Amino acid sequence: MAERMDDVEVTDRRAPVIEPGYTFGTVTDKISAIVLNRPTSTGWFIGFGVFFLLTMMMLYAIGYLVLKGTGIWGINIPVGWGFAIVNFVWWIGIGHAGTLISAILLLLRQTWRNSINRFAEAMTLFAVAAAGIFPLIHTGRPWLAYWLFPYPNTMNYWPQFRSPLLWDVFAVSTYFTISLLFWFVGLIPDLATLRDRSENRWAQMIYGMLAMGWRGSARHWHRYETMYLLLAGLATPLVLSVHTVVSFDFAIAIVPGWHTTIFPPYFVAGAIYSGFAMVLMLAIPIRKLYGLEDFITERHLQNSAKVMLATGWIVAYGYGIEAFMGWYSGNRYDSFLLWNRLHGPYAFFYYLLLTCNIGTPQLLWIRKLRTSSVGLFLVSLVILVGMWLERFVIVVMSLHRDFLNSSWGMYYPTRWDWMTYIGTIGMFLTAMFLFVRILPMISIFEMRTLLPEAEVKSE
Amino acid sequence: MKTTPIYGLMAEFDSATDLVGAARKTHEAGYKKIDAYSPFPIEDLAEAIQCSNYVPLVTLIGALIGGISGYLMQYWMMAIDYPINVGGRPYNSWPAFIVITFEMTILFGGIFAVLGMLALNGLPMPYHPVFNVPRFAMATKDRFFLIVFSTDPKYSPTGTRQFLESLGPRSISEVPS
């Protein structure tokens, strides 16, 4: 068997992670030129302008909210959570792909991650920042949000550590901090490259200060690599814990449809599902507009599509178990929840959710679609809509009809809800526009390690 | 005439393989105060010049501080300073404290890992003598450098230069300090 293996030429039919023919110099030039030499296009200004206006709209909506209170939203009793929590969970979920790509795929030695980890991490940061806005303003008095942290105060009280809402504060703020550190230390060697390659005095000084005097010493690299692996090892359980804790916000409560043990794994899978959809929605236009098809190849698109297909099935399993338990538990409130999803006033959204999240991704079985930019972009968009609907179904459909029919109600979002939600999308994309303009969107030093010349030949 | 003291002698190489070979030979020749620079991490290089690495220890200390203080904080606040009876559950209801203990472990471990790496590497350090060599700007692109510091007991301006030349570098430069 072993002898025969030598005769057989093993061919890898998959697209390469990086197109052949590149050297250390050309990889460096190509990625750093986007930041340093390429003139800012009109399209960039238009896109940035539009999304910046949306950000201003969000600030306007939040300003009015601070003035008037949460009564301007559609929330009421029984539906106290509404859009704010739907959007919070949606954004946090999207933020999961960055750390998954940078930490978990690093530990699994998936080298294809090297060309998409940088902007996926940036995406994570901006998504978590967008997510953080919602619980903050949902408190009604955001200027008192620091009460959530345990600090010695004249009221002589401490926050309630047995509450999952407080766990969430710690989980999300830890996640943001660690993601920021991971992203920034990953940037240091590339900032040094930009420092050495820019000709503008200001750029040299700013990149130089951010690079902190990095000079690529072997001793430094040695500690750096150790630190990077350790941080990945710490971030791996962290990323899985964050959405688990978010799901505890629901699962610890006794509301029908929330009080289930399937929630943590099903939330984490859904997070990765929507996160990869967002990665693709950003990667596809970026590789096209900046001519990066050689670095973000068909292989990356295919692999991301496969991750979505797999996590999509985990999510489908979650929906299946929810429905099954509604019937099998024999609990009248749980079975009513199932009935209400299928026939209640919001049933349309439940069917739409099933179409978006279970139906559409099945198209990814088709190889031709997995390699088509336009097709993947559209499927990703549908998945993102579907994942938003999933959170709507969980939050609103569970709350609006619970145990007593005297306390039933309906929830309709107002224009302020929509303005805030669309505004955070604007803020997220504004930040992405700035990011691709001023920082290397692909990790240059990690791309160098993928080149054949990086291999040290033994004498 | 004022002479600038010399920080070391720097040799430039074209490939990672050349640099690793040169670093090994330099170390074997008895030079101990040496360093190598490359545009990406090379595992064999760190081995060739031998360096200490306390990053894992620092990270472990950070993680332990975070975990222990995270639990004790909750214990003290919930069981001693501000006890609230929630449905008759014990004040030290440890299962409820696990999540924040875990998050604090990760938070402190991560912060210690990053700050520890920077501190052990002596960063931030905006000025460093090696930046005086104009060609050193290529170290963050596609060139590989080896330096013998003038503080090395075996260092001599002519002898070390001859030795470095025997390694077949692309160029050799003096690094003024």
Distance separating alpha carbons of residues B109 and B107, to the nearest angstrom: 6
Cβ A248–B100 below 8 Å, yes or no?
A: no
Check if B61 contacts A (Cβ < 8 Å).
no
Of A185, A216, A449, the CB nearest to B37: A216
Q: Nearest CA to CA, how far is A457 from chain B (Å)?
A: 6
DSSP state of A217: B
Distance separating alpha carbons of residues A16 and A300, to the nearest angstrom: 9
Cβ A222–B51 below 8 Å, yes or no?
A: yes
Instruction: Report pLDDT for A3.
Output: 41
Check if B72 contacts A (Cβ < 8 Å).
no
Check if B140 contacts A (Cβ < 8 Å).
yes
Q: Which among A161, A166, A244, A447 is the top mutation candidate for probing chain B, defined by the most B β-carbons within 10 Å of its own β-carbon? A: A161
Cβ A193–B141 below 8 Å, yes or no?
A: yes
For residue A318, what are the contacts with CB-CB under 8 A and spacing of at least 6?
A: A262, A265, A266, A269, A270
Distance separating alpha carbons of residues A446 and B114, to the nearest angstrom: 18
What burial class does residue A273 get, using C-beta atoms within 10 Å of its C-beta: 0-12 exposed, 13-18 middle, 19+ buried?
Answer: buried
Of B39, B106, B121, the CB nearest to A448: B39
Cβ B140–A241 below 8 Å, yes or no?
A: no
Q: Nearest CA to CA, how far is B171 from chain A (Å)?
A: 19
Instruction: Report pLDDT for B154.
Output: 80
Instruction: Report pLDDT for A44.
Output: 92
Asked if residue B1 has pLDDT above 90, the reply is: no
Of A178, A212, A446, the CB nearest to B110: A178
Residues of A in contact with B130 (CB under 8 A): 215
Nearest residue on chain A to B40, alpha-carbon basis: A445
Where b means 16+ CB within 10 Å and e means fewer, B25-37 reads: bbbeeebeebbbb
Instruction: Report pLDDT for A90.
Output: 95
DSSP state of A40: P
Of B77, B110, B137, the CB nearest to A150: B77
Mean pLDDT score, B14-33: 86
Q: What is the DSSP string of A370-395?
A: HT-HHHHHHHHHHHHHHHHHHHHIII
Asked if residue B166 has pLDDT above 90, the reply is: no
Residue with tokens 């955070």: A424
Residues of B in contact with A164 (CB under 8 A): 99
Nearest residue on chain B to A248, alpha-carbon basis: B99
Query: What is the residue type of A304?
Result: S
Check if B139 contacts A (Cβ < 8 Å).
yes
Instruction: Report pLDDT for A91.
Output: 95
Residues of B in contact with A221 (CB under 8 A): 38, 40-42, 45-46
Residues of A in contact with B36 (CB under 8 A): 217-218
The H or E element that residue A426 is part of is helix A415-438
Q: Distances from the Cα of A52 to the Cαs of A38, A65, A116, A296, A430, in angstroms?
A: 22, 20, 25, 27, 6
Other residues' Cβ atoms within 10 Å of the Cβ of residue A6: 7
pLDDT in tens, chain A (459 residues): 344 444 445 556 677 888 888 888 888 888 888 888 888 889 899 999 999 999 999 999 999 999 999 999 999 989 999 999 999 999 999 998 888 888 888 888 888 888 888 889 999 999 999 999 999 999 989 999 899 899 999 988 899 998 899 999 999 999 999 999 999 999 999 999 999 888 888 988 999 999 998 988 888 999 999 999 999 999 999 999 999 999 999 999 888 889 888 999 999 999 999 999 999 999 999 999 888 888 888 888 888 999 999 999 999 999 999 999 888 988 899 899 999 999 999 999 999 999 999 999 999 999 888 888 999 999 999 999 999 999 999 999 999 998 888 989 999 999 999 999 999 999 999 999 999 999 999 999 988 888 888 887 775
Structural domains of chain A, ranges and CATH numbers in brackets: 17-152+163-450 (1.20.1630.10)
Neighbouring-strand partners of residue A370: none
Check if B50 contacts A (Cβ < 8 Å).
no
Check if B79 contacts A (Cβ < 8 Å).
no
Distance separating alpha carbons of residues A184 and A211, to the nearest angstrom: 10
Instruction: Report pLDDT for B157.
Output: 80
Distance separating alpha carbons of residues B71 and B65, to the nearest angstrom: 10
Cβ A227–B116 below 8 Å, yes or no?
A: yes
Q: How many CA atoms lie within 13 A of B114 on its CB side?
A: 21
Q: Which tokens hold the place of A51?
A: 């999304």
Residues of A in contact with B38 (CB under 8 A): 216, 218, 221
Cβ B113–A171 below 8 Å, yes or no?
A: no
Instruction: Report pLDDT for A138.
Output: 93
Categorise residue B87: left if φ over 0, alpha if ψ from -120 to 50, beta otherwise: left
Instruction: Report pLDDT for A4.
Output: 44
Query: What is the residue type of A114?
Result: N
Residues of A in contact with B59 (CB under 8 A): 227, 230, 234
Under the banding of pLDDT at 50, 70 and 90, the label for residue B136 is confident
For residue A362, what are the contacts with CB-CB under 8 A and spacing of at least 6?
A: none
- Contact map slice: B 148-177 vs A, CB within 8 A: none
Instruction: Report pLDDT for B2.
Output: 54
Residues of B in contact with A234 (CB under 8 A): 59, 63, 106, 109-110, 113
Structural domains of chain B, ranges and CATH numbers in brackets: 6-51+143-176 (3.30.70), 55-120 (no CATH)
Cβ A234–B106 below 8 Å, yes or no?
A: yes
Categorise residue A69: left if φ over 0, alpha if ψ from -120 to 50, beta otherwise: left
